[in-house]
Chains A and B, each alone.
Chain A
Amino acid sequence: MAKKKEEVVRGAEVVNDGNRAINKFRISDAVMMLIIVLLCLTCILPFIHLLAKSVSGNSYVLAKQISFIPKGVTFDAYTSLFKDGSMVYSMIYSIIVTLIFTVLGMIVCTCAAYPLSKKRLKGRAVFTFLLMFPMYFGASLIPTYLLFSNLGLLDNMWVLILPLIYSPYNMLIMKTNLQTSIPDSLEESAFLDGASNFQILTRIVLPLSKPILATLSLFYAVGRWNAYADNAYYIRSENLKMIQYKLSQLVSSAAEAQTATLSEAAAVTSTPEVLQAAAIMFVTIPIICIYPFLQKYFVKGAMIGAVKG
């Protein structure tokens, strides 16, 4: 199989060389590159604009003079955010929730995917069905809400973690990957050497599956980090809200009342617009900073996920 792949790659190289030899750089190349560059700009410029706004002086922002370069640079808005402390607290809280969620999620995901990847497992079809069905048919919001209320999960940090740590989608990706990337013969020989299933998993399968484990951990982490509808449904206390939901409330209250809701202690001197830009960037910058390094793992996961599901 590897050989075939090599041939394909070599074939593609020949085509590329051919391309270069036969076709010179044409107008169509320029047009396509222009379109792609423009699309890329739509992905970058809004954030540069907000960043510029968040560190600009109030008067320049009010005079609508800020596009992509900050004027009258001041970090007052960020200082207010840090002094107020609620956003920083929420950020740390969100990181903790996301970490717990990711670790538990990966354990549960492995516990589901590894047994179900074994064709010999009796009752595999039934278990797969039981574990997949909720993805296609949800009980809907209110019954779920009342269930969580009965379980004492409302307004509780664990409501943001436990109900979602089992993800059918991630399980499918992991199962597919385990089935295709690890040869049965390897496990079979370990089994004949007297290794138990659990030992095979921890000593052979998991060490060989590091790339997919990294990818799925990121899927879990990003999924938890970005989602906040469940905060709106199940959480009331300020100190249990995750950062995305906090931002959502800050932004909408700033739009309604023209004042962002920070406490007195923050001694806000920035206009709501600047403060809002700073709050958005405060939440966005960490993601943009780590994103380029993690991006390749996501792409890998998306490609495995595309095979099925």
Chain B
Amino acid sequence: MSKKNSGGGKAATSSSWKNSLKRDWQLYVMLLIPLIIVFVFNYAAYPGMRMALMDYKPAKGYAGSKWVGLETFQKVFRDADFHRSLKNSIIFNVLDLLVGFPVPIILALMLNELRYPKFKKVTQTILYLPHFLSWVIIGSVAYTMFKPTTGLVNIALMNMGFISEGIPFLTEKWHWAVTYLLIGVWQGMGWNTIIYLAAITGISGELYEAAMIDGANRWKRMWHITLPGIRSTIVTLLIMNLGRVMNSNFERLQQFGNSQVKDFQYQLAIYIYEKGLQSAKFSMATAVGIFQSVVGLLLVVLSDWVAKRLGEDGLL
């Protein structure tokens, strides 16, 4: 095969394609299956995005609906609901990142310092558990635990005399915001430590040995060896997470939603669902969906660029 490839120009390209097909036709046949799936279920939906430029009426379909140009986008950008959902999405996702990002790093540093392998293994297994439970389980358990009058947390706090009446953890918007964020951190904390722990095992033991001979204590070793050792992992994960700042999880939001906290819970995923599937404002929901996808894509490309500029592996 390589002999034939060594020729120059167009002939060589076509003959190498021929050879490639001859040798690898089975691989191309295999590839057809996932390609058909993405074309039928993903790419085939792209032309539907044109309804953002139409006044789409479900009864009339694409052919019968009027083209209105950018009118829908103008309407969306003036829509108070959209402003609220966009603001909430950005604020909550940034807070998620600020609160949630450092926790797994700290946890990984602590787990790494543990001296009893058995203890470490058992606790790690327990800490990963919330990641494997669906949001409906987490949400309904949280509602049971945090109910103002009958929830175990409030009962315990009252019995201990810290409070005289129940805290509305999930039924008042400011309390809700804190509870919602902390439960998000709790759900992801164990899982995200895996990557940092893997990075820590890659640090050479000689460094620690040398540091100890020089008299560095545990905190100094953590600060001067472990943290710099996992710096690139931290940067990569941070940038990856920044790229996701527009995506909110519909299941998590819906499960923690209730009428008292609508002000904060109303984020883009909820906006699209309610406008689109519940009130049949298809064009508006699609316009917001496109806005979200475009901004999301730009953020990913930007994060990739920043990561590569910083000398880390890109994501794309």
Instruction: Determine which residue in A139, A163, A298 has the highest number of CB atoms from chain B within 10 A of its CB, and name it.
Output: A139
Inter-chain contact B38/A280, CB cutoff 8 Å: no
- Of all chain A residues, the one with the shortest Cβ separation from B150 is A64
Inter-chain contact A131/B28, CB cutoff 8 Å: no
Q: B81-89, B91-99, B140-148, B173-181: which one contacts chain A?
A: B140-148
Chain B residues with Cβ below 8 Å from A295 are 125, 128
- Give min CB distance, A271 to chain B, whole Å: 11
Inter-chain contact A280/B140, CB cutoff 8 Å: yes
Question: A277 contacts the other chain (Cβ, under 8 Å)?
Answer: yes
Q: Whole-angstrom distance between the alpha carbons of A289 and B142 in the complex?
A: 21
Inter-chain contact A37/B123, CB cutoff 8 Å: yes
Inter-chain contact A40/B123, CB cutoff 8 Å: yes
Chain A residues with Cβ below 8 Å from B255 are 248
Query: A114-B30, A166-B37 in contact; A280/B110 too (CB < 8 A)?
Result: no
Chain B residues with Cβ below 8 Å from A198 are 26
Q: Whole-angstrom distance between the alpha carbons of A49 and B142 in the complex?
A: 11
Q: Whole-angstrom distance between the alpha carbons of A226 and B130 in the complex?
A: 12
Q: Whole-angstrom distance between the alpha carbons of A47 and B137 in the complex?
A: 10
Question: A207 contacts the other chain (Cβ, under 8 Å)?
Answer: no
Inter-chain contact A134/B315, CB cutoff 8 Å: no
Question: B105 contacts the other chain (Cβ, under 8 Å)?
Answer: no
Inter-chain contact A247/B140, CB cutoff 8 Å: yes
Inter-chain contact A121/B34, CB cutoff 8 Å: no
Cβ contacts A289-309/B at 8 Å (1 or 0 each): 001100100110011001011
Query: A134-B38, A197-B27, A287-B132 in contact; A49/B145 too (CB < 8 A)?
Result: yes
Inter-chain contact A280/B144, CB cutoff 8 Å: yes
Query: A139-B46, A251-B143, A276-B144 in contact; A151/B40 too (CB < 8 A)?
Result: yes
Could you tell me the dominant secondary structure of chain A's interface residues?
helix
Q: Whole-angstrom distance between the alpha carbons of A225 and B136 in the complex?
A: 12
Residues of B17-65 whose CB lies within 8 A of A: 17, 20-21, 23-24, 26-28, 30-31, 33-35, 37-38, 40-49, 51
Chain B residues with Cβ below 8 Å from A197 are 23-24, 26-27
Inter-chain contact B133/A284, CB cutoff 8 Å: yes
Q: Whole-angstrom distance between the alpha carbons of A138 and B273 in the complex?
A: 15
Chain A residues with Cβ below 8 Å from B34 are 108-109, 111-112, 131, 166, 171
Inter-chain contact B26/A141, CB cutoff 8 Å: no
Inter-chain contact B129/A146, CB cutoff 8 Å: no
Inter-chain contact A283/B297, CB cutoff 8 Å: no
Inter-chain contact B297/A114, CB cutoff 8 Å: no
Question: B127 contacts the other chain (Cβ, under 8 Å)?
Answer: yes
Q: How many residues of A contact B (CB 8 A)?
A: 104
Inter-chain contact A130/B144, CB cutoff 8 Å: no
Chain B residues with Cβ below 8 Å from A111 are 30-31, 33-34
Residues of A17-52 whose CB lies within 8 A of B: 18-20, 22-23, 25-26, 28-29, 32-33, 35-37, 39-40, 42-44, 46-47, 49-50
Inter-chain contact B132/A142, CB cutoff 8 Å: no
Chain B residues with Cβ below 8 Å from A204 are none
Question: A288 contacts the other chain (Cβ, under 8 Å)?
Answer: yes
Chain A residues with Cβ below 8 Å from B27 are 114-115, 118, 121, 197
Residues of A94-136 whose CB lies within 8 A of B: 107-112, 114-116, 118, 120-122, 127, 130-131, 134, 136
Chain A residues with Cβ below 8 Å from B129 are 43-44, 288, 291
Inter-chain contact A11/B113, CB cutoff 8 Å: no
- Give min CB distance, B8 to chain A, whole Å: 17
Q: Whole-angstrom distance between the alpha carbons of A307 and B293 in the complex?
A: 25
Query: A36-B110, A115-B28, A136-B296 in contact; A12/B205 too (CB < 8 A)?
Result: yes
Inter-chain contact A33/B114, CB cutoff 8 Å: yes
Inter-chain contact A47/B251, CB cutoff 8 Å: no
Q: Whole-angstrom distance between the alpha carbons of A141 and B289 in the complex?
A: 7
Return the contact of A283 from the options B45, B137, B273 (Cβ within 8 A). Answer: B137
Return the contact of B48 from the options A42, A49, A147, A287 (Cβ within 8 A). Answer: A147
Question: B90 contacts the other chain (Cβ, under 8 Å)?
Answer: no
- Of all chain B residues, the one with the shortest Cβ separation from A163 is B41
Chain A residues with Cβ below 8 Å from B128 are 295, 298-299
Return the contact of B251 from the options A42, A147, A229, A292 (Cβ within 8 A). Answer: A229
- Of all chain B residues, the one with the shortest Cβ separation from A249 is B136
Question: B195 contacts the other chain (Cβ, under 8 Å)?
Answer: yes
Chain B residues with Cβ below 8 Å from A127 are 31, 35
Inter-chain contact A227/B251, CB cutoff 8 Å: yes
Inter-chain contact B218/A115, CB cutoff 8 Å: no
Query: A131-B35, A291-B132 in contact; A36/B272 too (CB < 8 A)?
Result: no
Cβ contacts A166-197/B at 8 Å (1 or 0 each): 10000100000000000000000000000011
- Of all chain B residues, the one with the shortest Cβ separation from A291 is B132
Q: Can you name 14 A-B residue pairings with CB atoms under 8 Å?
A: A8-B204, A15-B212, A29-B114, A47-B141, A50-B141, A64-B155, A115-B31, A131-B35, A140-B286, A143-B47, A147-B45, A166-B41, A248-B139, A283-B137
Other contacts beyond A115-B24, A228-B134, A248-B139: 13, CB < 8 A:
A12-B205, A39-B107, A40-B123, A67-B152, A134-B43, A142-B277, A163-B41, A166-B38, A232-B254, A233-B273, A244-B134, A247-B136, A247-B140
List the 4 shortest-distance A-B pairs measured between CB atoms, nearest first: A140-B289, A11-B205, A143-B48, A139-B45
